Amino acid sequence: MPKKEKEEIIVEEKPRETAVEFLASLAEVLVTGLFIITFVLQAFEIPSASMENTLLIGDHLFVNREQFAAPTRWMGPLMPYRDVRRNEIAVFMSPEQPGLFLVKRIVGIPGDHIHLRDGALYRNGEKLVEPYTQHKRMNYDPYRDNFPAVPPSEMYGVTSQDWLLALPSHIRGEDIVVPPDSYFAMGDNRDNSKDSRYWGFVPRKNLIGRPMFIYWSFVTPEDQYQMSGVWDRMAFVAHIIIHFFDETRWSRTFKPVRLPASAAGKSPSVNVTSRGSSCQTKRPVAPKLLEIDGQASENSTLVSVSSSLFAALCTTSKSTSSSFTRVPDTKIAAPL
């Protein structure tokens, strides 16, 4: 019988990647990543409390660097460039300290008239309803709570000599007027925020971008950003590794940072005019639960005016006025 010839199966080996090809592939990845973090997205960490409870210490977020950039002729029609809107949160370079990134809420755009009275913010003559703000400190600070009626001084924490000299030139009546290509920024934690009240307007050229979403949040001590020693940092890294699962704020993971509903138009307000025993109202506010970042915030305020309240107001012979009784600044964010 004829012998069966053994068939040899030849497997072709793929040529190994040379060192030059590996370096070329690595360079492509690095260039692409560098382009993205330079011109499109950048990661930041919140190290201080001036934006609580909207942004917490230990929140890590991605910032869209492209949206607030100056439009170019050839890319302008293709890119979603736009100006900053009122009440929008923005990341920018500090006007007072070069190289320092800050995150604040833009409460005034060019042409707006701004003032504070007893801690309440008025814009263009209208008192704003700001459920995302909070007042934690019980002490009364005349400059902080009645800006710009009280002259600035180092006694109140105003250390910028440029702002001490420039502030009076922007005051019209009881308001400060935001100049062109500038913005007025404040932290949501109003009593613990060093903001435009202390160092002035934010030039448009200082804008970095808009926070998009929180990709990770970890319980972090308030003074952690001041720990610059190597051993302190290594100890905190070890702490993160050990407590990653039990101290990560999982409910904040991938939480978007959205523009509040009131930014689209005027803030809700109620005007009541008493005429003897009758009442006239303008734009009554329906009960509404204001949501922050797409879900009810821990500080969400239920804004409602009931018919019984109007009846009480109408039958009151004496008009009453509401008053606030109040018995480090947020640096954002060092880039990662």
| pLDDT tens per residue across span 275-289 | 333 333 333 333 332
Residue 40 banded pLDDT, cuts 50, 70, 90: confident
pLDDT above 90 for 227: no
What would the mean pLDDT of 283-312 be, rounded to a whole number? 32
Which comes out higher in pLDDT, residue 329 or 113? Answer: 113
Q: What's the token pair of residue 218?
A: 């970890």
Strand ranges, E, within 190-312: 202-203, 207-217, 255-256, 271-275, 278-282, 288-289, 302-303
Q: What percent of the chain has pLDDT over 70?
A: 69
Which whole-number Å values give the CA distances from 273 to 89, 232, 314, 319, 323, in the listed order? 35, 60, 9, 10, 19
Per-residue pLDDT at 124: 97
pLDDT above 70 for 301: no
Per-residue pLDDT at 233: 92
Domain boundaries, the chain: 30-261, 268-315
Which amino acid type is present at position 209? G
Taking only the tens place, the pLDDT of each residue in 9-33 is 665 666 777 887 878 888 888 887 7
Per-residue pLDDT at 267: 41
Taking only the tens place, the pLDDT of each residue in 59-109 is 999 999 887 776 666 665 666 778 899 999 999 999 999 889 999 999 999
Q: What is the mean pLDDT of the chain?
A: 77
User: Taking the CB of residue 51, how many other CB atoms lie within 10 A of it?
Assistant: 28
pLDDT above 50 for 221: yes
**φ/ψ bin of 194: left (φ > 0), alpha (ψ from -120 to 50), beta (otherwise):** beta
Among 123, 252, 130, smallest CA distance to 187 is for: 130
Cα(305)–Cα(286) distance, integer angstroms? 7
Among 279, 166, 216, smallest CA distance to 58 is for: 216
User: Taking the CB of residue 263, how many other CB atoms lie within 10 A of it?
Assistant: 15
Residue 302 banded pLDDT, cuts 50, 70, 90: very low
Per-residue pLDDT at 12: 63
Instruction: Answer whether CATH 2.10.109.10 is correct for domain 30-261.
Output: yes
Q: What's the token pair of residue 227?
A: 């720990």
Per-residue pLDDT at 29: 84
Q: Would the CA dihedral through 244, 249, 250, 254 be positive or negative?
A: negative
Residue 243 CB partners (closer than 8 Å, separation 6+): 219
Residue 61 CB partners (closer than 8 Å, separation 6+): 43, 44, 46, 55, 211, 212, 213, 214, 215, 257
Among 49, 26, 103, 104, smallest CA distance to 335 is for: 103
